Amino acid sequence: MDMKEKKPAHQGPDKNSMKPFLYYYLIVVVVLMVINALGFSSLFQREVREVPYNELIRQVDEGNISMISKDDNSLVFIAKDEQGRENIYKTGIWTWPDEALDSKLEEQNVVRVAEIPTEPNPVMNALLSWVLPLVLFVIIGQILSRSLAKRMGGNAMTFGKSNAKIYAENETGKTFADVAGEEEAKEALKEIVDFLHNPKKYADIGATLPKGALLVGPPGTGKTLLARAVAGEAHVPFFSISGSEFVEMFVGMGAAKVRDLFKQANEKAPCIVFIDEIDTIGKKRDAGAMGGNDEREQTLNQLLTEMDGFDGRKGVVILAATNRPESLDKALLRPGRFDRRIPVELPDLKGREAILKVHAANVKLSDNVDFNSIARATSGASGAELANIVNEAALRAVRMGRGIVLQEDLEESVEVVIAGYQRKDASVSENEKKIVAYHEIGHALVAAKQSHSAPVHKITIIPRTSGALGYTMQVEEGERFLMSQEEALNKIATLTGGRAAEEVIFHSITTGASNDIEQATKLARAMVTRYGMSSHFGMVALETVTNQYLGGDSSLACSPETAKEIDDEVVEMVKQQYDKAKKILEENESKLHELATYLLEKETITGEEFMQILNREEARGDC
Ligand code: ADP
Ligand code: MG
Ligand code: ZN
């Protein structure tokens, strides 16, 4: 991340957090007492040396003494030592008055004073040993508390004042060049960039640009990235806040944050306000729900009010992102608010290739790297996943002790993203391995023996951390948008091919097919309820998709009787395809054996190897 000037918008003293500081002061006092008890205060005093009386006589004889004082039972004098430094000495009184000494002192002009202070002035002493450290501690404490408050994003207790982490960036440093693919979205956003560059052009002609644009699409498709790129292209400040930040403990806080956000944005116009994950506050307000969420509703109302209230011509553009557009309150979507909706879809083949290239721009690549083949193998992957694939590949290259990334690194990292890391240490028994090999060849063989199936790209029986004991990778030649009924049925057959092989060869079945079963059922169900591909129901929608961008959950929209019929239809459909797969495998049993044996030995085989063995056998056998 290259966030410049990333800072929470508010800081301030925190009444509530004064409590910990009480403890803090207590600790300070204790520490000071210890320091004093250990006598560190003598550091601030001049050292006084106790010497015998004849030392005094000797010093007088040598003429070292410059000053002397006498009290009731001791003499204190200042004398130079060998290095010429002046020290304070103290000695007891031997004979007094000592006339011999007296006259010598007289001779040498030694200053006689009432008292040579052996301790510094008590006020100074206290100042040095108590007050100064205390002041120091207080200053440090103050600095600490301020930075703490800063880090916590301001204050939690002051009502009406926002502590939302509103991030303000003067330059996001991102441009449209950082966003690969998504041409339509970029096109739609270019107008906004132009408007921010030159609001006057629009004002002169009397046009008002939409106040807000809503970026909708699945997670990881670059919505946040696009919003930042708009700010970067327009060279305007970027205020961003995540919807979840609005959800607060105290009622009224969310609304205050919204007010605050817009106030700041107005001061900095032209600028961009970005509300990420707006669905957290923008959910439909429904009357019926138990009590509802007052806080969220208030926040949303405030947002709507602010959007209506501010002057669109000033150059504040509001962008928001969500992956659940269907759950948004209609009020948010009406004209004058987020009336422009910009879809940010999963990248297509060309888009994926472009995204891979953008993220590989700073990666050292070998010449043989073919992004097109990687893009083909990652159908359905989001931009974030593709970015991750490139990075994983670079990490793998480093792990292998190489200086550049090879095609095999990228291929392996695709598999890591799909199926997890290889588990070389996993102890799979020989028998299990054999079953897995036949299972995977079963998939591949059924796929290959049907028309309209994606070619087999790779088959492996190396276990993965995801729990998969092996898998067959099929890669389409190009991008597919439509699937015919025949293709869908063939796909179900391919999915059941693994289990079918187990039954044909071992006459017993294992749990290894659970994922296949799930996928086959899902597809069959969708064919019946959504794609109108069953003879019985025809073109009737029996399910509605509720969460288009998040897994695509669907809910039934039919009577219980119909639901039962649907189930029957799905069961029948899968069964038919299973039988078809079994038939294919029985007809090609010798090839199944040969391929499975080969796979068992190699553990991983490519699509070409697979096809070679398959065709070789065919040439000798059938024809
Ligand atoms: P979203 O907000 O849609 O969930 P992000 O914008 O946070 O997705 O994307 C996450 C990361 O994925 C980005 O930081 C970027 O590295 C990568 N990414 C996603 N889409 C693209 C794209 N179209 N071009 C380049 N990188 C992308
Ligand atoms: Mg995002
Ligand atoms: Zn399988």
| Each residue's pLDDT tens digit, 531-544 | 888 888 888 888 87
Higher pLDDT, 9 or 449: 449
- Residue 210's pLDDT is 76
- Tell me the average pLDDT across 389-410: 93
* Nearest-atom index, ligand 1, CA of 178: 25
Which range is least confidently modeled, 40-49, 174-183, 274-283, 587-596?
A: 40-49
Residues 318-364 have pLDDT tens digits of: 999 998 888 888 888 887 788 788 999 889 889 999 999 999 999 99
* 155 band by pLDDT with thresholds 50, 70 and 90: very low
Mean pLDDT of 494-500: 94
The residue whose CA is least distant from atom 1 of ligand 1 is 220
Residue 303 confidence (pLDDT): 85
Q: What's residue 599's pLDDT?
A: 93
pLDDT at 360 (0 to 100) = 93
Average pLDDT over residues 397-404: 93
Average pLDDT, the chain: 81
Count CA atoms within 13 Å of residue 54 on its CB side.
0
pLDDT at 559: 86
Q: Higher model confidence: residue 93 or residue 216?
A: 216
d(CA 83, CA 102): 26
- Which of 440, 518, 603, 618 is catalytic? The answer is 440
Task: Give the rounded percent of residues in the chain with a pLDDT score beyond 90.
Answer: 27
User: Which region holds residue 468: left if phi is over 0, alpha if psi is between -120 and 50, else beta?
Assistant: beta
Question: What average pLDDT score do residues 127-147 get?
Answer: 76
Please write the tens of the pLDDT for every residue from 289-323: 555 567 777 888 888 888 887 776 777 889 999 98
- pLDDT per residue as tens digits for the range 541-587: 888 777 777 776 777 878 888 889 999 999 999 999 999 999 999 99
Give the sheet arrangement for strand 48-50, strand by strand. 48-50, 86-92, 74-80, 65-70, 111-113
Q: How much is the average pLDDT of 147-160?
A: 48
Q: 9 C-alpha vs ligand 1 centroid, how far in Å?
A: 26
Q: Is the pLDDT of residue 211 over 90?
A: no
User: Residue 396: what pLDDT?
Assistant: 92
Q: pTM for the full model?
A: 0.67
Out of 111-115, 212-216, 281-285, 335-339, which region has the weakest mean confidence (pLDDT)? 281-285
The answer, yes or no, to whether any atom of ligand 1 lies below 6 A from the CB of 384, is yes
Catalytic site residue 572? no
Q: How far apart are CA 592 and CA 286, in angstroms?
A: 59
pLDDT, average across residues 507-518: 90
pLDDT at 616 over 90: no
| Average confidence (pLDDT) over 377-395 | 91
Flag whether pLDDT at 425 surpasses 90: no
Q: Is the CB of 387 under 6 A from ligand 1?
A: yes
**Residue whose CA lies nearest to ligand 1 atom number 17:** 384
On the question of pLDDT at 205 being above 70, the answer is yes
Q: Ligand 1 in contact with 179 (CB < 6 A)?
A: yes
Taking the C-alpha atoms of residue 116 and residue 533, their distance in angstroms, rounded to an integer, is 111
Length of the chain: 623
Q: Is 284 a residue whose pLDDT tops 70?
A: yes
Indicate whether residue 322 lines ligand 1 (CB < 6 A). Answer: no
**Taking 50 as the threshold, does the pLDDT of residue 1 lie above it?**
no
Residue carrying the six token digits 């807000």: 212
Q: Is the pLDDT assigned to residue 150 strictly greater than 80?
A: no
Minimum-distance ligand to the CA of 220? 1
At residue 221 the predicted structure's pLDDT band, cuts being 50, 70 and 90, is: very high
Residue from 186, 221, 244, 385 whose mutation best tests the ligand 1 pocket (most atoms within 8 A of CB): 221
283 against 189, higher pLDDT: 189
At residue 251 the predicted structure's pLDDT band, cuts being 50, 70 and 90, is low
Q: What does each C-alpha distance from 517 to 144, 395, 439, 511 come to in angstroms?
A: 59, 34, 13, 10
Verify whether ligand 1 is closer than 6 Å to residue 129 (CB atom): no
Q: How confident is the model at residue 110 (pLDDT cuts 50, 70, 90)?
A: confident
Q: In the chain, what percentage of residues exceed pLDDT 70?
A: 84
Q: Kindly give the distance from the C-alpha atom of residue 518 to the centroid of ligand 2, in angstroms, as a whole number.
A: 30
CA 380 to ligand 3 centroid distance, Å: 20
At residue 159 the predicted structure's pLDDT band, cuts being 50, 70 and 90, is very low
> Which is higher by pLDDT, 351 or 16?
351
Instruction: Spell out the residues 6+ positions from residue 79 whose beta carbon is closer than 8 angstroms to its own.
Output: 59, 64, 65, 66, 86, 87, 89
Average pLDDT value for residue range 254-281: 85
Give helix 607-620 / helix 589-602 axis angle, nearest 10°: 150
Tokens 């909706």, residue located? 341
In this prediction, residue 16 carries a pLDDT of 47
Selection from 555, 521, 522 nearest residue 541 by Cα: 555
User: Are the C-beta atoms of 442 and 581 separated by less than 8 Å?
Assistant: yes
Output the pLDDT for position 133. Answer: 75
Joined tokens for residue 68: 């002397």
Give residue 440 CA to ligand 3 midpoint distance, Å: 6
Q: 295: Cβ below 6 Å to ligand 1?
A: no
CB 239 within 8 A of CB 365: no
Report residue 39's pLDDT band, with 50, 70 and 90 as the boundaries: low
Q: Is 228 touching ligand 1 by the criterion CB < 6 Å?
A: no
